[in-house]
Amino acid sequence: MDYQKLGLKVGVEVHRQLDTSRKLFCNCPTEPREGGETVKITRFLREAQSELGAVDPAALFESKKRKKIVYHVNTYNTCLVEMDEEPPHPLNPEAVETALTIALLFNATPVDEIHVMRKIVIDGSNTSGFQRTCVVALGGSLVVDGKEIPIQTITLEEDAARIMSTGHGYVEYDLSRLGIPLIEVSTAPVINSPAEAVKVAKAIGNVLRATRKVKRGLGTVRQDLNVSISGGALTEIKGVQELQLISSVVENEVVRQLHLLEISKELRKRLGGETLPPFSYVDATEIFRNTRSKMLRSKLEAGGKALAVKLPMFAGLLSREAAKGVRLGAELAGHARAWAEVEGLLHTDELPGYGVSAEEVAALKKAVGAGEMDAVVVVVDELGKAVEGLRAVYARACEAVEGVPGETRAARPDGLTVYMRPRPGAARMYPETDIPPVPVSSDYLESLRARLPEPLEATAEKLARRHGLSRQLVEGLIDDEREELFTKIVESHSLSPTVVASVLTETITSLKREGLAVESLTDQKLVEVFKALAEGIYSKEAVPDVLRWLCSHPEAAVDEAVKNLGLGAVSTESVEAEVMAMVMAHSSEVEDPRLANRLMGDLMKKYRGKIDGKQLHGMVLQAIERVKSAEKT
């Protein structure tokens, strides 16, 4: 695909938690920990007008759901500030210093005063109905593959609460994450390919990590993308967790927008320049009263209604698929789900099917007055939700005639995206009046410039030179963000740096490919694994087995893994005696160069993981030489 010709423009926003001792606007710790009293509080949030009397469309969208929001509060890392029962404290100076250090690493221009703003967010992820955020620097750049990538803004903000569960009419959040300092680095939309987007996000991440002041691990980093093509629209894609997923997300968004442009062109041709008529629906409940469709029957038996709307000239376009999962029908279903929590949606492009008969389809088309070129969409749910869901479907169908709508979408693990909400407007931001501004003096900036951290490239060179590591292992440690852990382990224990690096990169990657929960292998647990290895409790050959067992038993300790795997220290003297006995039993073959390997095969079945293979092989060779010498004398 020629992305240059398509006019692809991508902007990347990298969000990363800062590793500070306390949260951004209170004294609660940022590290999660079990314990403390746990309580629940319930809230309902609604939209509010800006200072100019405008209502943000994204806030209006969320407020229409009228969800009950339940917050889980752990008193160890949550206080009255997170509960919105106490005014926020002044900005955390440690977080401010880290944010300004990052700005200087990008050669950005820090602001003279840091002013906190309120950004309206009423999906429940913040108890106050807004997120506190502040711009710390503007401009700056980084170079990726010889190309300068401008940085637009560097922002410091509070992280949102973590969603725990959601259901009909409610959502539950854990407040432990709320308020953790979060840095956001946003680029200009100058990225022109999916591969380049990955490289830029990685390069930004490397600059952030150079401070040694960012958290790592699942949930501490995410990327948002702003994607558009010529003739399309700016789409904001939220929550790309994996770096390598960026490429797939951008590729799929280009395919989606091209597909919608083709459909728009076809619809305009079919409609002859006419627009769709005003929204109206038909109650089709009686048509499906005796249906064999399990989905329809269960909804109707629960008291739901089957409502239908005609989409003039849409026949065949709802099921047309540009790529797996990229269909206009999926777009309509996404809007019904987002605006009204409606899941039961069918359309005539996929019927008869799903238990719906040809006779029911014919009756449905007759009821709405649909012709051969028209499509019909059916929504089945309680009356209010069904009407709202069908209204959202029709609004999205009207947008399909015009082209590609600008909107906010959420990234999925498969690289596709789903509709989240409309894009926010200017009414979303207004000043925070409870927090005084923070002046940024030139003397302070000079002091920060004098102690800027070294880039990761310099760290990589030092690792390779000091520990004799290959470039591949060094890059693996850097990419997996384990270079500091590696240094801590090799400086604390007499272990081969190559062995430690290989385990931290290649072995853990291999276990992840097996589908194991490698995220349970915390730094502390890995330190314990290597400590046991250094103490000779097991050999390096057993490390993958130990890690594999620990992945399946995340709460267990290393000594439990050793016990369950039948590892543990063995007497060197007893092993040497057994080796000598085996060699003596094959004394007639001691001149055969293949004897050592044959004996090793049997010995490793018994001692794999209990004694180092190299050490065991040395015992075998030594025993063979002794027997040879004895026979000569």
611 vs 203, more confident: 203
Q: Looking at the structure, do residues 151 and 188 belong to the same domain, yes or no? A: yes
**Is residue 244 one of the residues assigned to a domain?**
no
User: Is 501 inside a domain boundary?
Assistant: yes
pLDDT digits (tens, 9 = 90+) for 478-510: 988 899 999 999 999 999 999 999 999 999 999
Helix (H) or strand (E) holding 330: helix 328-340
In this structure, are 89 and 194 located in the same domain?
yes
What's residue 417's pLDDT? Answer: 97
Residue 15 pLDDT exceeds 70: yes
The per-residue pLDDT for range 288-312, each reduced to its tens digit, is 999 999 999 999 999 999 999 999 9
Q: Is 422 exposed, middle or buried (0-12, 13-18, 19+ CB in 10 A)?
A: middle
Work out whether strand 235-240 and strand 407-411 pair parallel, antiparallel, or are unpaired. Answer: parallel
pLDDT digits 0-9 by tens, 452-479: 999 999 999 999 999 999 999 999 999 8
Q: With bands split at pLDDT 50, 70 and 90, how would you rate the model's confidence at 536?
A: confident
Final residue of a structural domain among 532, 564, 596? 564
What is the identity of the amino acid at 350?
A: E
At 618, the pLDDT band (50, 70, 90 cuts) reads: confident
Both 216 and 297 in one domain: the answer is no
The band of 29, judged by pLDDT with boundaries at 50, 70 and 90, is: very high
How many independent structural domains does the chain possess? 4
pLDDT at 608 over 70: no
**558 vs 399, more confident:** 399
Query: Quick one: 32 and 136 in the same domain?
Result: yes
Return the pLDDT at 481: 87
CA distance readout (Å), 416 to 14, 136, 477: 19, 33, 30
- Residue 626: pLDDT band (50, 70, 90) is confident
Query: In the predicted model, what is the mean pLDDT of residues 196-203?
Result: 97
Residue 405 belongs to some domain of the structure: no
CA nearest to 160, candidates 137, 182, 143 = 182
From CA 334, how far away is CA 405, in angstroms rounded? Answer: 14
Same structural domain, 106 and 178: yes
Residue 431 lies in a domain: no
**pLDDT above 80: residue 553:** yes
Q: Give the model's pLDDT for residue 579.
A: 67
Q: What is the pLDDT of residues 311-350, one digit of tens each?
A: 999 999 999 999 999 999 999 999 999 999 898 799 999 9
Residue ranges of alpha helices (H) inside 480-594 are 483-492, 497-502, 508-513, 523-534, 543-552, 558-564, 572-585
- Do 75 and 150 have their domain in common? yes
**Whether residue 584 sits in one domain with residue 557:** no
Q: What is the pLDDT of residues 391-429, one digit of tens each?
A: 999 999 999 999 999 999 999 999 999 999 988 776 678
What is the average pLDDT across 149-161?
Answer: 97
Question: Would 468 be classed as within a structural domain?
Answer: yes
The reply to whether 597 and 521 lie within a common domain is no
79 Cβ neighbours under 8 A, 6+ residues apart: 26, 27, 28, 86
Q: pLDDT above 70 covers what percent of the chain? A: 91
Token readout for 262 is 């083709």
Asked whether residue 476 is domain-assigned, the answer is yes
Same domain membership, residue 321 and residue 216:
no
pLDDT of res. 591: 75
pLDDT at residue 617, rounded to an integer: 75
HEC letters along 255-305: HHHHHHHHHHHHHHHHHCCCCCCCCCCEECHHHHCCCCCHHHHHHHHCCCE
- Domain containing 376 — which CATH number? 3.30.1360.30
Domain end (from 167, 199, 228): 228
Beta 305-311 vs 375-381: how paired, if at all?
Answer: antiparallel
**Each residue of 46-94: pLDDT tens digit?**
655 555 555 556 555 655 666 889 999 998 899 999 999 999 999 999 9
- The backbone torsions φ and ψ at residue 549, rounded to the nearest 5 degrees and listed phi first, read -65, -40
Q: How confident is the model at residue 202 (pLDDT cuts 50, 70, 90)?
A: very high
pLDDT at 308: 98
The larger pLDDT score, comparing residue 560 to residue 193, is at: 193
Average pLDDT (86-105) is: 97
Say yes or no to pLDDT of 609 above 60: no
Q: Which domain holds residue 35?
A: 3-228
Phi and psi torsions of 149, nearest 5°: -110, 110
Single out the residue of 312, 298, 375, 389 nearest to residue 343, CA to CA.
389
- For 62, the enclosing helix (H) or strand (E) is helix 57-63
Burial pattern 506-533, b for ≥16 Cβ within 10 A else e, equals ebbeebeeeebebeebeeebbbbbbebb
Residue 612 scores a pLDDT above 70: no
Please tell me the predicted confidence (pLDDT) of residue 535.
82
Q: Residues with Cβ < 8 Å from 262, sequence gap 6 or more?
A: 322
Residue 449 covered by a domain: no
Per-chain mean pLDDT for the chain: 90
Task: Specify which residues 237 forms β-bridges with.
Answer: 225, 409
Same domain for 220 and 309?
Answer: no
375 and 475 share one domain: no
Residues 547 and 584 grouped into a single domain: no
Reported as a single tens digit per residue, the pLDDT across 360-397 is 999 999 999 999 999 999 999 999 999 999 999 999 99
**CB of 193 within 8 A of CB of 229?**
no
In the listed set 371, 395, 419, which residue is the last one of a domain according to the structure?
395
Residue 190 and residue 209: Cα distance in Å, rounded? 23
pTM, two decimals, is: 0.83
Q: Is 80 exceeded by the pLDDT of residue 531?
A: yes
Answer yes or no: is 430 within a domain: no
pLDDT computed for residue 568 by the predictor: 57
